[in-house]
Structure 1
């Protein structure tokens, strides 16, 4: 089981909201209304860890190890929402999310293949790490800069934990199931490492997850300002091609290590995926 080791390692670096956030360094002259509103939107977005956890537990009922890890992931992700809400409570109480606004992002996600969902969230954590680092650079107020750096580090650790479960899927399952996992990881990897080619931000909270609710079946569509994410990325924190390239490179690097291959580009990964498809067809 991976859960006991992951619990121990994450417990050792867990930060305390009361003592590890430099609340006393707040400088109100360096926080604009525009910046404060984006904090509210991120606080609500992070609250969507609640329906994501419900999805993970439902779709991984046969995997108690991974389901137990969800207790860590869920706690730390909800803590991200809480620290952003606490920031607003202290310094911009007029922008605190209401309970209704938070509850609106809790809706059911359609069932999906577990390995594809695992890979999707692995990539999502990498992307969030880079988004929050970029956001920290954009902000000018010291406390929120520190908060975004703090939660960015958490997202990187979460990606590392998901990667451990991806490795387990390849190493502990039979050949057929291992190939299915490789197929799932490469398929989602091609998608998530190609964000510079898509008009929308590729993150789990911005993808359609419930056909019955379409088109309002993304977490972002449930926010008070449904179009805020693109505005935040493109015009505010300016998450540009250089930043996007870092995300893509990180995904490809980790998949290279995972698959014992070398993926320098998305095209390399896509060729690998097509070879897997051909190999599966031959066996069939």
Structure 2
């Protein structure tokens, strides 16, 4: 089981909110209202690990190994929400998310093919790793810079964990898994052409709640994500290239195929059976 291995590896890298955050280094003069508001939005977005976990457990009832891993992923993602809220509680309590704002992002996602969902979240973790690195650079207050650096490292480890389950899936399902990963890889790596930052939190997931069926649409400020990326942390084309490069490098190793561009990946996808 991968769960046992991942438990130990992630446990050894886990940070402590009480002892590993330099709370005493907080500098109020270096935190703007604009920056503080983005922390609130990130905290609420991280809370959406709750409905995502419910989705994973529902759609992977036949996979106890992966479902057990969700206990780790869910804990660490909710901890991200918690540390951001603890920061606000200590230093900007006026912006601490209300319970109803957190609960607003909890709704049932439609069932989806597990392999495609796995790939979607793998790509999401790669993207979030880069988003949080930029956030750490953009912020000027030292404590929140440190927090975003920790979150970024966690997301990178989560991507690595998902990748292990993807490798296992290829061993079990062969070309069906390869086709699912290539299909979602083309979608997630082509966001520069769609001019939309594709991530699980801004994709539609429920016909019943459409169009209010993305995590971002349920935030207090639904337009926040695009402003955060374009105007605040300035996630530009070079940053996007790092996301795409990370997806392609990992898929090249996973699929044992040299993939230097989205076009290469799309050509490879067409050689596989449709899923």
What TM-score, normalized to structure 1?
A: 0.96
Alpha-carbon separation, structure 1, partners of 2:63 and 2:6: 16
Q: Could you report, residue by residue, the CA deviation over 1:40-97 in whole angstroms, capped at 9, with x for unpaired residues? A: 0000000000000000000000000000000000000000000000000000000000
Which position in structure 2 is the counterpart of 1:214? 210
Structure 2 runs not aligned, ≥5 long: none
Cα distance in structure 2, aligned partners of 1:29 and 1:196: 36
Partners in 1 of 2:263 and 2:54 — Cα distance?
Answer: 34
SS at match of 1:50: helix
Measure, in 2, the Cα distance between the counterparts of 1:100 and 1:18.
27
Hey, what's the Cα distance between the residues in 2 that align with 1:134 and 1:263?
26
The question of 1:243 aligning with 2:243 is answered no
- Corresponding residue of 1:199: 195
1:168-187 mapped onto 2 (5 Å cutoff)? 168-171=168-171, 173=172, 177-187=173-183
Deviation at 1:198, TM superposition (A): 1.5
Alignment RMSD, CA only?
A: 0.9
Deviation at 1:199, TM superposition (A): 2.8
Aligned position for 2:54: 54
Equivalent position of 2:120 in the other structure: 120
| Structure 2: distance between partners of 1:221 and 1:249 | 28
State the Cα distance separating 1:197 from its structure 2 match.
1.0
Q: Deviations over 1:261-283 (max 9, x none)?
A: 00000000000001114xx69xx
Structure 2 counterpart of 1:261: 257
Q: CA deviation at 1:195?
A: 1.2
CA distance in 1, matches of 2:186, 2:25: 42
- Partners of 1:87 and 1:198 in 2: CA distance: 35
Alpha-carbon distance in 2 for matches of 1:195, 1:42: 21
Corresponding residue number in structure 2 for 1:224: 220
Q: Could you say which residue in structure 1 is the equivalent of 2:10? A: 10
CA deviation after TM superposition for structure 1 residue 114, in Å? 0.1
Partner of 2:30: 30
Alpha-carbon distance in 1 for matches of 2:68, 2:253: 26
CA distance in structure 1 between the partners assigned to 2:236 and 2:188 by the alignment: 16
2:94 corresponds in structure 1 to: 94
Q: Give the Å deviation of 1:200.
A: 2.1
Structure 2 distance, partners of 1:264, 1:274, is 16
Deviations 1:118-144 (A, max 9, x none): 000000000000000000000000000
TM-score (norm 2): 0.99
- What's the offset of the Cα at 1:178? 1.4
Q: How many aligned positions are there?
A: 275
1:159 aligns to 2:162 (yes or no): no
Structure 1 ranges of 4+ moved more than 2 A: none
Aligned equivalents of 1:81, 1:219: Cα separation in 2: 14
